[in-house]
Amino acid sequence: MIQTITTTDALAAYCARASDAPYVTVDTEFLRERTYFAQLCLVQLALPGSDDTDAVLVDPLADGISLDPLYELMAAPGVVKVFHAARQDLEIFHVDGGVVPTPLFDTQVAAMVCGFGDQVGYETLVRKIARAPLDKSSRFTDWSRRPLSDAQKIYALADVTYLRQIYESLVAQLERTGRTAWLEEELSSLTDASAYVVDPSEAWKRLKLRTNSGKTLAIAQELAAFREHYAQSRNVPRARVIKDDALIELASTKPRSLADLGKSRLLLRDARKGEIADGLIAAVQRGIDMPADKQPKMTEGRDRSALNSALADLLRVLLKAKAEEAGVAAKLIASSSDLDDIACGAHDGLWATGWRREVFGEDALRLLRGEIALSAEGERVRIVPV
């Protein structure tokens, strides 16, 4: 029978037991379609072993329950917290509990280091490592509704029970190949608390703007900041305030009155009146009034006028060959944009640091300097010194 924890005392007792374990597997179910901040609806936990009492569901929506014991466990330095594709889960724990779970192990990232491909899904790892099928039929159910069905509980618990076997298998593979440090290097960005804090003044950078006009960018910055503040303070999705395409339209048309705002083709009806409309008009005015030396600028990309397309193609071949040789997902080593940068003469970038330099970067720079060539032998690519 699946155990569901609904009281603080029961949670504290489980977390006390978990604090003596080498690791705990963790997953969450949440909703964020109707809110700015994700609504935590369920937490799944499992300890090493196969006993039914080792795996539980925690109901954050139960009357009177406090998740403080859980947050203390997430911060416990002696217990590894194991997630799959952890970023959204970590954001929830940081926002709700003020803690980023550490030490951390993300099986999706570890699987990429171990050569399972780019952003491998949990279902794939369950099939390949645990040799079991996974029922995903309850994936898109409403996790805020109570009571939870037996099917929902079974689905939710499977996200942490198989995770134990996956974790142990990946740890063994990392130790065997000497790549534990590689994974730690990758996980450092996930455990950086600043990654989960949205600065309203920086929100405009997520927009797909196609202009270098300082005035237009200033208006977009102010509109995006207003949207962020409004959505956060009322816990509503950004798109409920103003959608991206409408925001970009207003940055271009620069409305100064309700009448001007009413001419927008893309603005939602609720944004044409009341405090949203007033806020949008005020934001536009702040952008218009912004001094030229304070206006934001688009981040300049690397000059691609010197791009050697033939070299870029060779780098893609080299990356594929080195990734296959190392058994690492190519996407984790370098992006297509990185390869174009190298073909323009770049000597810096994430690809040129740490384990990536060892696996690919050194040979990429040698190819750039003309010190090596590539030859094909059947399906294999061979590096030839020049």
Distance of CA 36 to the CA centre of its chain: 16
| CA dihedral sign of residues 98, 104, 106, 109 | positive
d(CA 272, CA 268): 7
Residue 372 has what pLDDT?
93
214, 187: one domain:
no
> What's the half-sphere exposure (Cβ side, CA atoms, 13 Å) at 165?
14
CATH number of domain containing 174: 3.30.420.10
Take residue 281 and report the two structure tokens written for it. 């008009």
| pLDDT tens by residue, 309-323 | 999 999 999 999 999
Q: Is the pLDDT of residue 255 over 70?
A: yes
Q: How many domains are there within the chain?
A: 3
pLDDT (average), residues 228-238: 97
Place of tokens 């058994």: 327
| CA dihedral sign of residues 338, 343, 349, 353 | positive
Q: Is the pLDDT of residue 353 over 70?
A: yes
229, 374: one domain:
no
Rg (CA), the chain: 25
CATH number of domain containing 286: 1.10.150.80
Q: Is the pLDDT of residue 87 over 90?
A: yes
Q: Is 66 helix (H, G, I), strand (E, B) or coil?
A: coil
Is residue 320 situated within a structural domain? Answer: yes
145, 235: one domain:
no
| pLDDT tens by residue, 90-130 | 999 999 999 999 999 999 999 999 999 888 999 999 999 99
183, 211: one domain:
no
* DSSP code for 300: P
d(CA 204, CA 49): 47
d(CA 362, CA 375): 18
Estimate the crossing angle of helix 336-343 against helix 309-326, to 10 degrees. 130
CATH number of domain containing 330: 1.10.150
Distance of CA 79 to the CA centre of its chain: 23
269, 216: one domain:
yes
pTM, two decimal places: 0.89
Residue 302 has what pLDDT?
62
Is residue 262 situated within a structural domain? Answer: yes
180, 238: one domain:
no
| pLDDT tens by residue, 187-227 | 999 999 999 998 999 999 999 998 989 999 999 999 999 99
138, 282: one domain:
no
Is residue 299 situated within a structural domain? Answer: no
The last residue of one of the domains, among 152, 168, 196, is 196
pLDDT grade for 254, boundaries at 50, 70 and 90: very high
The last residue of one of the domains, among 162, 196, 230, is 196
Residues in the chain: 386
Is residue 35 situated within a structural domain? Answer: yes
pLDDT (average), residues 27-42: 95
Residue numbers of the domain that contains 58: 3-196
206, 102: one domain:
no
191, 206: one domain:
no
Is residue 116 situated within a structural domain? Answer: yes
What percent of the chain clears pLDDT 70, i.e. is strictly above it?
98
The last residue of one of the domains, among 153, 172, 196, is 196
d(CA 149, CA 112): 34
341, 284: one domain:
no
Q: Is 197 helix (H, G, I), strand (E, B) or coil?
A: coil
Is residue 300 situated within a structural domain? Answer: no
Asked if residues 12 and 37 have their Cβ atoms less than 8 Å apart, the reply is no
189, 133: one domain:
yes
Is residue 361 situated within a structural domain? Answer: yes
Estimate the crossing angle of helix 214-234 against helix 274-289, to 10 degrees. 150
d(CA 364, CA 213): 37
The long-range contacts involving 51-56, CB below 8 angstroms and separated by at least 24 positions, are 52/1, 52/2, 52/3, 53/3, 55/2, 55/3, 55/157, 55/160, 55/161, 56/2, 56/3, 56/4, 56/5, 56/14
Take residue 176 and report the two structure tokens written for it. 């065997």
Lowest mean pLDDT among 17-21, 138-142, 279-283, 302-306: 302-306
Average pLDDT of the chain is 94
Is residue 301 situated within a structural domain? Answer: no
Take residue 304 and report the two structure tokens written for it. 């691609």
| pLDDT tens by residue, 93-102 | 999 999 999 9
Helices (H), 19-130: 68-75, 87-97, 107-113, 122-125
373, 243: one domain:
no
Residue 303 has what pLDDT?
67
Distance of CA 29 to the CA centre of its chain: 16
